[in-house]
Structures are given as structure tokens and as C-alpha cells.
Structure 1
Amino acid sequence: MTLSHDLAGEGPSAVVLLHSGVCDRRMWDAQFAALAAAGHRVLRCDLRGFGESPVDAPHTHSDDVVALLDTLEIDRAAVVGSSFGGAVALEIAARHPERVSALALLCPAVPDFEPSAELRAWGGREDTLLEAGDIDGAVALNVDTWLGPEAGAEARERVRVMQRRAFEVQLAAPEEFRPLDPGVGAAELAAIGLPALVVSGAHDVPDFREMATRLAALLPNAQYVRLDWAGHLPALERPEETGKLLVEYLAAAPGAPRAAV
């Protein structure tokens, strides 16, 4: 299956945008346009089980993205990931390093991270709501948890729509079509020598703040940025500012793709 996707821009460099687990490719509207305007060829996709990409077989998200790059004849790209998309970006860099020029990780999840008791309890509340058929309650729980104080009504509604869609797609999928373990742990992450921007939000859930600081220390070529205003989804909380951050990072990072001059 080819992941549902959009392309913009005609520059010689490529950038891939990977969404968070409560969103789909629509979360990147502002950054998709900003990166294309800066001279990059920009790809955003719905990972399997999100947006318009159904769950139709067992799969590994990183392999799905690389297969999409093959289909589009993109040899190498900077990979930008938000939250769950950050974990997928790390898996691509660990398993297919020749396909990645740089990483930008916004409040990333980290493969093989052991969640705290508090985050496990949160997951239990979500499971209880879903098992009871209370999709609205599960959506509201996610919206209230993952958006920081800068998020207005429009951002909250956008996450509400995208999260509901993800639940609909995933709950309809057979159990045997769950994602496969990509086999990426701390040793594989420590071997990623690519330039990497690791962004943390001051108002994010504690587990994700810890993941960001650990990851920045683990990756040998990482730059760490803490956004004092951000929760877990800076791309939706301050879209233009996040777009500017990404454009400027890709213009300066050693080895990252350069836009046409």
C-alpha cells in the first residue's frame, strides 16, 4: 500500500513531515507551506492507521515511509517528526541512515522508552473509555492532555477531528494487522550520527520532557531547544513560529538539505 500523501515545492532538497499519534498529515498545514516557500520539495504523509491510510496488513511504519520515498524517487531527505512521528523518524535514521540527511524532532517519542506510572495510568483511562465505546470521551482526554496553553479553539478542534479519525481507522483494524516491532533501542539510537534538532515543550507531559533531554544527550550530533511556551504540539500551538524554526534549522544544519538560492 502507498501511504496517502501530499507534495509541495520544487526545490532540489527534500523534507518529509511525520505527524504525531493524535493527528495526521493535516497537522502540518503551516509548516508544509513554509518549507515549500523556502525552496524545499516537501512531503507529508498519513502513516498507516491515520488520516486516509488504512490498516490493511501487518506493517512497520519506518519501512512504509521508505517505500513511499522509493515510489516518489526521493533518494534522501531531512525527516521532521512530531511525537510518535519523531519515533518513526528515529527508526528510519537507525534502519535506513543513507536515506536521511538530518532530523528535526518535535517533542519526540523515543523507541524502547519505559513510560512512567503516571503515563501508564493515563493510557489505562484512554483504554477504559474506548472499551466502553466512549469515543468522544477518549478524544476529549487526548485534546486536554496534548495541547499546551498557547493552543486556541481552532487548534483544539483540529486535533479533535484528527484524533477521532485515527480512532475510527484503528478500532476497525483486525488485531493481526498491528504494527511490527522495528527493533530499534538505545544502542541503535546512539549510532545515529546525523545532525538532529531535538525540541522540548516546557508545558509538555513529564515523560516527553524526559525523553527529549535523554535523546539530546544520546545522539552524538544533537542540538537541544526548549520552547518555554510549548506543550506537546508546537506545530499547532504556534504554527508560524514552528515553521520558522524548521526553516532556519534546515538552512544551518551541517549536511542538511539546502534550498535553491
Structure 2
Amino acid sequence: MTELQVRSGKATLTGISAGHGETVIFLHAGVADHRMWAEVIPRLAGEYHVVAYDRRGFGSAQATPEAYSHVDDLLAVLDTAGIDRATLVGCSQGARIAVDFALAHPARVRALVLIAPAVGGAPGPSTFLPPVEALLEELDAAETAGDLTRLNELEARVWLDGVLAPAERVRGARRELFLDMNGAALRAGSMGDEVTAGPAWPRLPEIQAPTLLICGSLDFPHVAQRCLSMAEQLPRAHFREMEGTAHLPSFEEPEAFTALLMDFLTSLDTA
């Protein structure tokens, strides 16, 4: 396993690279960094070339505020590492970047694995159940007050435990790692203005790459609904639910997730 450093604009993106073969690039969620894949990467590195990196404002990445594009940053990762095309595995905001990249650079994408995906222009829920609404209001209040410690704890409640599960469902080292990753992101400050792509939702049928959609059963209900809708719109997609996990199923259950991922990658190898 080697350290990865990629210069893109005024940023230095940092991460790791391991293994040989077809490339799989991991794109972390907006409440984590590349360490969320730490238990998945060694399971793949024996058969694939695996890359995971920290985006601007996360982990050990360094950046001076400027106008930037996550799609351009990902392109810089591929070009710097000499990668012609890759399977992109993205969670939440990482999945949004994967979708935007697939639309902008289809020839560079072998396949997509989208976990609890955010998608530009996707319809969102109009209402939440009262307990969920109360939790989200508490989170907004902590953010408004600038109470980063409380905000970090509440985001662990929402994204790690899951809004449909008891508080502190996930404990121990996994929870401590979440709080460390997300706490660093909350303290990072502004990276400048993100130049975003146009809405990807109406363009989903353009994506021809084989796609695996995954969500946890304890996540927001609209995430599963979004995955099901995407499975209908994407020409070569199928959906799997990971029972008993929330918004970060690959982080919660890396062994079960890796099994799904390996089955999908093997299907690409034999197609």
C-alpha cells in the first residue's frame, strides 16, 4: 500500500493506492474521509488496483480556498495515477460525484457502485415523521449555534445510527472513527465555491455503465425510494438493500459489503 498525493488547482488530495489489476476508486461520504474504506480495501487489493483519497476539506487533504470542481479533482486523480478508466464506488456525496463524473467522462468509467446516493436534481421528501423532524431541527439548531461538538454527535445519530434506529446503535471504535472523520470535516472551514454540474437526475438514462445501487434498511426511507427509481432509469442497474445498516452500510458492515462488491466486480470480469 502506497501513499497517494494529487495536485489539483490549489489543492493537494491525499490518500492511498494498493494492489494491481482493474482499478476501483472509492469516494467517501460527506461525513467521513478515505478511512471509511479501511476495512474494505485490503479485501480487494489482492485482485484489484484500489485507490481511495480525501477530498478538499476532509482528512489530510490540503487546499487553499478557490473555485473548484470535485469532478475535475477526480479527473486529476485518474490522470496523475495513469488510470484510463475505473469502477467508481461512492457513498452519499461521493456517489453524487461518481454520477456527475460518469456523465462528464463516460469513457473513463467502467462501472458504478452507488451507496445511499445523493444525485443533483433528485426529488426529495416533502415531509418527515415527527421524531425524524424533531431530530433534524435539533441538528439545525446545533449548526446555527456553531456547536460543532453537538453537531458531530447529532450527525452520528442521523447518519451512523440511522434515523429509523435507536441512538448510539453503533458504538465502540467504529463510532469513534466516525466522530474523528466528521469532526475534522466540520472544523475544516470553507474550501471556496464548488462549481457543480447541472442536475444529473434527468440525465440518468444516459449512463450506460453497469451500476450497483445499495442502501441500508435503517436509512431515511426516501433513500431507498431514490435507489429504486434510479434502478428503473439507469439502463444497466440493479439494487440491493443491506439489512440492519443505515447511511454508511459499507462502513458498518465491511465484510457483507465487500461480498456484494466482489460479486458485482466478478460479473464485470466475466461479462
Whether these two folds match at TM > 0.5 is yes
Counterpart residue number, 2:184: 165
State the TM-score, normalizing by the size of structure 2. Answer: 0.85
Q: Distance in 2 between matches of 1:151 and 1:123?
A: 19
Counterpart residue number, 1:259: none
| SS of equivalent to 2:37 | helix
Q: Distance in 2 between matches of 1:28 and 1:184?
A: 28
Counterpart pick for 1:153 among 172, 175, 200 = 172
CA contact (8 A) 1:101 1:255 kept: no
Counterpart residue number, 1:126: 139
CA contact (8 A) 1:49 1:166 kept: yes
Counterpart residue number, 1:66: 75
Q: Distance in 1 between matches of 2:61 and 2:140?
A: 23
Runs of 5+ unmatched residues, structure 2 = 1-10
Percent of aligned positions that are identical: 32
Q: 1:135 to 1:118 in 2, by over 3 A?
A: farther
Offset from partner CA, 1:73-130 (integer Å, 9 cap, x none)? 1110000001111111111111111111001111111221233245796666434312
Q: 1:71 to 1:123 in 2, by over 3 A?
A: farther
* 2:148 partner amino acid: I
State the TM-score, normalizing by the size of structure 1. Answer: 0.88
* 1:234 partner amino acid: P
More contact order relative to length (CA 8 Å, sep ≥ 6): 1
* 1:162 partner amino acid: M
- Please list, as runs of the form range in 1=range in 2, the aligned pairs for 1:37-116 lying within 5 A after superposition: 37=46, 39-56=47-64, 57-116=66-125
Counterpart pick for 2:156 among 143, 152, 172 = 143
| SS of equivalent to 2:251 | helix
Aligned residues: 250
Q: Does residue 1:180 correspond to 2:199, yes or no?
A: no
CA contact (8 A) 2:12 2:63 kept: no
Aligned CA RMSD, in angstroms, stands at: 2.1
- Give the drift of 1:12: 2.3
- Give the drift of 1:255: 8.1
Runs of 5+ unmatched residues, structure 1 = 257-261
- Give the drift of 1:34: 1.0
